[in-house]
Amino acid sequence: MLIGGACTPDGDALRAFIDLARVAGGPIVGITAASENPMKSARLWRADFRKAGVQNIDFPRVRRDSDKADRELAARIDDAGALFMGGGNQVKLVAELSGTQAEASIKALAARGGVICGTSAGAAALTSLTMAGGEIDEEGNLVEQYLGPGFGLLNFETIVDTHFSKRRRLQRLFVVIAGNPELLGLGIDEDTALIVRGHIGEVVGAGGVTFVDGRDSVRFDNADDLEKGRQLTLSHLRVGIVGTHYLLNLRDRELEVLVQGEASPHRRTPPFTVAQASD
């Protein structure tokens, strides 16, 4: 489950995670290692979950330099039914957990059908590749684009950008896909979630999910020659927007309503429900 950041205690995005976590059973483990101040972030998240009626969530410290702390965190994740990863810096988050017992336990939780949720940086880190930078800073300079390893929990050659509409990140995602046309870019709006089961993702929340597909479609790009982010020249990409309760087929990179042959633009497939998710 990927949330585009800025989720609210009473919003549909966080509520969907809470509902799925309750179906999964067991405690919830929260990780705030992406934050520059993990303890403060944990306090704020604990308060938000309390407002949403959740008491059984714990935010243990992540200490890469301590084997004992790593073992303890891994044990908590092994006992959990759901995991929540907060925002901050996705590169920092991956660096803190990569190669640890805790990372192995996170992947084991996903393999046994537990609920894995990331918001903002936590969402960006869930794919095999994660992105950062590539934007114009306050002085008008282009921050160098970063592409590096993520946790690899979401497949289908996807890469995730968050706070998408709010921070006007379509250009950034275009640049990444132009240089890596095999990827499927997913731009997730704030307080919005993409809930993925198998190869199908459902959009829930206040905004939408933009998908950018360069595979078999890009005819020309100058991605290797860019000096400034606004100089991109590109033809052409497949771009779509998935609204609330519509389904995106990640395998076929298309709206599920079209994959199923339902051509009417006003017809939609039924959304997932928590009851369905427990089957």
Domain boundaries, the chain: 2-277
| Confidence (pLDDT) at 268 | 47
Q: Indicate the class that CATH gives domain 2-277.
A: alpha beta
- DSSP per position, 41-106: HHHHHHHHHHHTT---EE-PPP-TT-HHHHHHHHHHHHH-SEEEE--S-HHHHHHHHTTSHHHHHH
pLDDT at 267 exceeding the cut of 60:
no
Report, as an integer, the average pLDDT of 182-208: 98
* Calpha distance 38→20 (Å, rounded): 25
- What does DSSP say about strands 247-249 and 158-161: parallel, antiparallel, or unpaired? unpaired
Q: What is the pTM of this model?
A: 0.91
Over the stretch 125-154, which tens digit does the pLDDT of each residue have? 999 999 999 887 777 777 888 999 999 999
Cα Rg of the chain (Å, integer): 19
For tokens 């992406």, the residue is: 34
